[in-house]
Amino acid sequence: MNLFLDTSVLLAASGSAKGAARALFRLAPQQGWRLMASPYALGEVAANLDLFPATATSDWVQLRPSLFVVDDVVSLDRVVMFPVPKDRPILFTALAWADVLITLDRGDFEKLLGDRFYGLEIMGPSVFLARERDAKRLEHFA
């Protein structure tokens, strides 16, 4: 399963060794999940890491190689009514490459779009992990 991680999730995983965002990184290899990001998302992480404790940068250096980087997608051949220009590259890229957009940015994604965008599922990391656990697809949840 291809999971596109929004900048908010990448920063949360870097900022804390605990929590669902970091659990995605721990569980991905054994679950067969491909964790994806794009150059746009990576640039946003680089621009915001200084807002976190210094350990976040060293944790990011450790997490970054786990990501499969896909090309940014900045336009679609579909009708889109999404008023947040800064998040369009995240949304469009996730739609092009992933099965699920994992985000902590509920305001811009979930409230405006709901839980799907042209078939792309949108959910937070804890909701995704709970869904996988409830469906008995998690081999290990630690």
Q: What percent of the chain stands above pLDDT 70? A: 78
Q: What is the DSSP string of 67-92?
A: -EE-------SS------GGGHHHHH
- Report yes or no: 117 and 95 within 8 Å, Cβ to Cβ: yes
User: What are the structural domains of the chain?
Assistant: 2-134 (3.40.50.1010)
Query: Terminal CA-to-CA distance of the chain, rounded, Å?
Result: 20
Q: Which residues of the chain have pLDDT under 70?
A: 74-87, 106-114, 116-118, 139-142
Give Dmax over CA atoms of the chain in angstroms.
42
Q: What are phi and psi of 18, to 5 degrees?
A: -110, 165
